[in-house]
Structure 1
């Protein structure tokens, strides 16, 4: 009986961890604000570039697709990417979804936090540990915001 109960508890813990992407860490609104600030100065009128980067978070189509292809209600599917990326709320939810999906400890400090989410946003999960990111304008702006806001 005890062994069955222990097995059931382990299974439930595994399922919760699987659903929550590891530790269940969510990106905070403050962290989203710093990522937005670092990306474009949180320019809601950013639009899309010829290079296919859109909105205040500077989302690419593959990023948006990986995040789940979120759409604004009533949006034409043909314009869904640009509409969502240029809408502050939809774009923020895309960043939140991407962060949840790819959450990992990029800087190897033992916790998944805003620092990691900012790195994942800029470099993707595969290169989020790249130290060259720390020398970029994006990271400098992020670090300044983080120091003021102290996001979790």
Structure 2
């Protein structure tokens, strides 16, 4: 049942492919780079997904690390995570909010510390409305 609901969300809104691509480029050059130590835990794969993030996105794939290094699985995880938290965050559903939530967690779009990450996303060619 949950997977069907998530599928409907993908069709009716959520992060654009363009914005998702900018995040992927910033995180890994959009390559399956494995895991790296980052802020007290490992971040893995195309989108540098942390274990807790993978849990929050519904634990897709065979495992956290396998999903993170599989583009389709990782992109689905990011979409599910962002769709889950965009309403909770109180921020508008746009590329800036999605990028900042990806970087800073469920309310990341409200944290000053995620502004630098948004600047990196903009350097990839994305705008608030990408």
TM-score, scaled relative to structure 1: 0.67
User: What is the DSSP-based 3-state SS (H/G/I as helix, E as strand, rest coil) of the residue aligned with 2:123?
Assistant: helix
For residues 116 and 58 of structure 1, the distance between their equivalents in structure 2, rounded to whole angstroms, comes to 18
User: What is the DSSP-based 3-state SS (H/G/I as helix, E as strand, rest coil) of the residue aligned with 1:139?
Assistant: helix
Tell me the matched-pair count.
Answer: 119
Provide structure 1 residue ranges, at least 5 long, that are not aligned to the other structure.
1-18
Partner of 1:35: 23
- Please tell me the root mean square deviation across aligned C-alpha atoms, in Å: 2.6
Q: Report runs of 4+ in structure 1 exceeding 4 Å deviation.
A: 105-108
User: Which is richer in strand?
Assistant: 2
TM-score, scaled relative to structure 2: 0.77
Please say if residues 105 and 112 of structure 1, whose CA atoms lie closer than 8 Å, have aligned partners that are also in contact. no
Provide structure 2 residue ranges, at least 5 long, that are not aligned to the other structure.
1-7
| Structure having the higher Rg | 1
Partner of 1:93: 76
Partner of 1:128: 109
For residues 74 and 87 of structure 2, the distance between their equivalents in structure 1, rounded to whole angstroms, comes to 21
- Tell me whether 1:140 sits opposite 2:119 in the alignment: yes
For residues 94 and 43 of structure 1, the distance between their equivalents in structure 2, rounded to whole angstroms, comes to 16
Please say if residues 100 and 115 of structure 2, whose CA atoms lie closer than 8 Å, have aligned partners that are also in contact. no
- Tell me whether 1:64 sits opposite 2:54 in the alignment: yes
